[in-house]
Amino acid sequence: MQLMTQTDPNELKAALREKNINPTIQRLAILECLRSTRSHPTVEEVKKMVEARLPMISTATVYNVLNNFEKNGLARAISVHRNSPQRFDGDLSPHHHLFEDSSQSLIDIPIESVSIDPKILEQYNISGVEIILKGVKRA
Ligand SMILES: [Zn+2]
């Protein structure tokens, strides 16, 4: 759940090359954006963040790059509600999320904050856990 600060251009290039992804300017900018935020941005939010440097970038390009990152294990895609846009997380370390309803923000919560019944772990080989708590912050 650490904020990834691997935004060194050479490290970003290496991360893409490792997945056999050609490190274009667009992909590098989007990867840097994902790794420098904890806000779990949507496609539109990523577009806004990279537009400062790449004013001509299209929503379709951002969408395709983010989905490619997700497919190749460079990002997690998170669906909070069926009708709300997907969000993307560049932090691949194990953690859960909490969706805070009044601010509409998705907050990282430590993996230890949710425990799984050991009986379930005895019966299945768990390959992934995706828990999104939903609620509002108490006053
Ligand atoms: Zn997260």
Q: For 80-119, write each residue's pLDDT tens digit.
A: 988 889 999 999 999 999 999 999 999 999 999 999 899 9
Cα 11 to averaged position of ligand 1 atoms, centre (Å): 21
Cα 12 to averaged position of ligand 1 atoms, centre (Å): 19
Select from 38, 106, 22, 34 the least CA-distant residue to 47.
Answer: 34
Per DSSP, helices labelled H in the chain are 9-18, 25-35, 43-51, 59-71, 118-123
pTM, whole model, 2 decimals? 0.88
Tokens of 2: 């650490």
> 20-74 pLDDT, tens per residue?
999 999 999 999 999 999 999 999 999 999 999 999 999 999 999 999 999 999 9
CA distance 85 to 44: 9
Cα 119 to averaged position of ligand 1 atoms, centre (Å): 27
CATH number of the domain located at residue range(s) 9-89 in this protein: 1.10.10.10
Q: Are 121 and 62 in contact (CB under 8 A)?
A: no
Cα 40 to averaged position of ligand 1 atoms, centre (Å): 6
Boundaries of every domain in the chain: 9-89, 95-135
